[in-house]
């Protein structure tokens, strides 16, 4: 039972344009959502998060949008840069939970 799903295994975007990565979840108890970024041969690193009391959180070029009724969140990167090429994991957790549930990841490639 995949509680967090990233249905696009890969995404290719031109440098300077917007990258939109999508994530869906099924567990209504999830109320915190996070994005992690992973470069090859490295461990994932935290990127940005959002609480269910918000519908948007912004940090520089990165914005996460949350649509609770659709159980959907998205990560927007504007403008996209070559250094953004990486695998992006969506993750979710419930308040008080001791663990995260990760999606399968989306490989983002930014083309010059």
Partner 1 sequence: NAGVTQTPKFRILKIGQSMTLQCTQDMNHNYMYWYRQDPGMGLKLIYYSVGAGITDKGEVPNGYNVSRSTTEDFPLRLELAAPSQTSVYFCASSYGEPAYNEQFFGPGTRLTVL
Binding residues vs partner 1 (CB under 8 A): 6, 9, 31-32, 34, 36, 41-46, 49, 89, 91, 93-105
CB of 108: closest distance to partner 1 in angstroms?
A: 15
Which CB sits closer to partner 1, 21 or 34? Answer: 34
Q: Strand, coil or helix: what is 30?
A: coil
What are the E-state strand segments in the chain?
A: 4-5, 10-14, 19-25, 32-38, 45-51, 56-59, 62-67, 72-77, 86-93, 101-102, 106-111
Which CB sits closer to partner 1, 90 or 110? Answer: 90
CB of 94: closest distance to partner 1 in angstroms?
A: 7
């Amino acid at each position: 039972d995949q509680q967090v799903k990233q249905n696009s295994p890969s995404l290719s975007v031109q440098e300077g344009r917007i990258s939109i990565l999508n994530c869906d979840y099924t567990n209504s108890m999830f109320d915190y959502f996070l994005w992690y970024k992973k470069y090859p041969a490295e461990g994932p690193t935290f990127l940005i998060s959002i609480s269910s009391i918000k519908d948007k959180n912004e940090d520089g070029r990165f914005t996460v949008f949350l649509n609770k009724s659709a159980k959907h969140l998205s990560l927007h990167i504007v403008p996209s840069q070559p250094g953004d090429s990486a695998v992006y994991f969506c993750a979710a957790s419930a308040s008080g939970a001791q663990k995260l549930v990760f999606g399968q990841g989306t490989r983002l490639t930014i083309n010059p």
